[in-house]
Structure 1
Amino acid sequence: MPLPETPAVLALRQAVRDWLARFGPSGSVVAVAVSGGADSLALTAAAVAEAALVDALVVDHRLQDGSDEVAATAAATARGLGCRSARVLPVEVGRVGGMEAAARTARYAALASSRGGLPVLLGHTLDDQAETVLLGLGRGSGARSIQGMAPFDDPWGRPLLGVRRETTRQFCVDLGLSPYEDPHNSSPEFTRVRLRTEVLPLLEDVLGGTAAPALARTAEQLRQDNAALDEFAGELLVRAESEAPGLSCAVLAAAAAAVRSRAVRAWLLTQGVRAVTGAHIRSIDELVVGWRGQGGVAVSGPERGTRLVVVREHGRLTLARADRVSRDRRETS
């Protein structure tokens, strides 16, 4: 369908066009995750206008009565906007991590298994990016947690990270679309909702409407910094791993702390450690630069129920099974 040339429509089309030029696949065939909300409907219409072909994927979380009708309506709207296909993906939402996290896990799993090798465009806006940065600040887990969402994290594409939420709503008004208003998006029991409805409006009021763009710019700058630090950490890891198993503490200690911690984190993940926390990294760093004969640092193994221990032996960090470390201690006591 032809789109009106309003400021909101032109802004979204330009955002999608720029994303396709930078990240789009050959032939510009993409999938779009459609919830029926304003952001996803506006993205879908703009993608149809700019890409060669668009497939719509509609996840039905089945968390509310009538969710199947909402999903069916979203799929019909996507087809009406010109999508080549529109499929509804019913999912089962678990309970691990709370409803928000469980729904997200189920949603991304369904999209990943149904995308048919295509990149999946998501309707995250600049406002979503600002909320993500604030959530990361609250966790206090370093620069990586406040770098926000990337415009392309294969297979997930986010063309609208420079577009305000009010623009996607105006886009829908301009096209005469009626977005679905998810009641979960206004429920104060969810942290992100309170950030959206209470914290960001207050920051915008205090800072004169500049808070969300400033947070988004911070995220972009941090992604660039993190990419550089990750490259330095990769080079350090190569040097620290040379000559013998494990990591050379002398090589690690000579590096900047930010680079050293990233190298250790990367090493742990390649060794099958399932979850690496800031507390793990700080304790392991003490084995490198604050060595005084202390014991090892326990981390999770590659399988549930298995435990590994990072120990310092002969000037190198090594990983051992927790039961082996305990046995060695008994034999030497």
Structure 2
Amino acid sequence: MGASLDWSRACFTMDPGFNRAVTEAFVRLCDSGLIYRSEALINWSCALQSAISDIEVDSKELFGRTLLSVPGYSRPVEFGTMVTFAYPIEGLEGEISVSTTRPETMFGDVAIAVHPDDPRYQAVHGRQCRHPFTGSLLPIITDRIVDMQLGTGAVKVTPAHDHSDFLLSQRHNLPRVTVIGEDGTMTPPSGHWLQGERRFEARQMVVDALVEKKLFRGKREHSMVLPICSRSGDVIEPLLKQQWFVRCEEMATKAVQAVEDGQLEIIPQFYTKTLKHWLSNISDWCISRQLWWGHQIPAYRVELHNSPDKQERWVWGRSEEEARHRAAAQYGVGAENITLTQVALVTLPDLT
């Protein structure tokens, strides 16, 4: 191409200079409150055994029943269908039917939600349903987020495996039960007969059990958008985990304002609308990774010697020595009474 390059300035993402810059950025962002650690629903790739960010998720639109190849499965898996099954109402000779594309998650159901204005369910507000497998009682709650036109108008609430349900759990103070593990297999809360089964094989097992209990109410094709991991082709599993996040709302607002004020010009100009739309609908950025894809997070788990309190404590620093001094000051103990552990396989993208 006729390029004349100054190879003395060649850099690789993992070079020491870049690593110092990323570490510095992380520490400064943490100190300013823009990076934080929290439990939230994140995009999890069971194939990679790692969290991935929103921009690493591809949306695959399905218009009905579709068979797709999924990593780890020898046969194609069916998607694009909706199953309807019934929950018996406690204390009444009746039932409430719910529709779902993911019947395997019903062991993580903690409530049934209906729209407060839906005339079909006015008589069951505040009632409870009995879970047919666990025997637990699920409250019937009302919330305007429920779409009365979708399915039966009643939805199962599974906060640990669905983003909308997670928001419902926050508003209604509901528990969160994880029934699918990091490897994509069913966990103990799903019962001994499902524990260890792979999530998409457990789907049919649950449907068969519902048929046996005479609670299955049908199955139909359903248009949907399936989240796919762009790196592995795996179907994303929303999982509730403690991870590191960057607060994006304030920064996104400032970026949009810069465009509107003319401080920043987008070329070609027609991408301005795309930029505003993306930044106006942005969520906090999960920067944790469980694979070695980037720079190691300069944060350390703190253990206080002789402390009966087992709560999770974290501190960050440009070096372990700085982190130890920060922890001693933060928790009011001597540096010699602190053990720091840096989680070896948690890495983050290039923040520079």
Question: What TM-score does the superposition give when structure 1 sets the normalisation length?
Answer: 0.28
Of structures 1 and 2, the one with the larger relative CO (CA 8 A, separation 6+) is: 2
More strand by share: 2
More helix by share: 1
Question: What TM-score does the superposition give when structure 2 sets the normalisation length?
Answer: 0.27
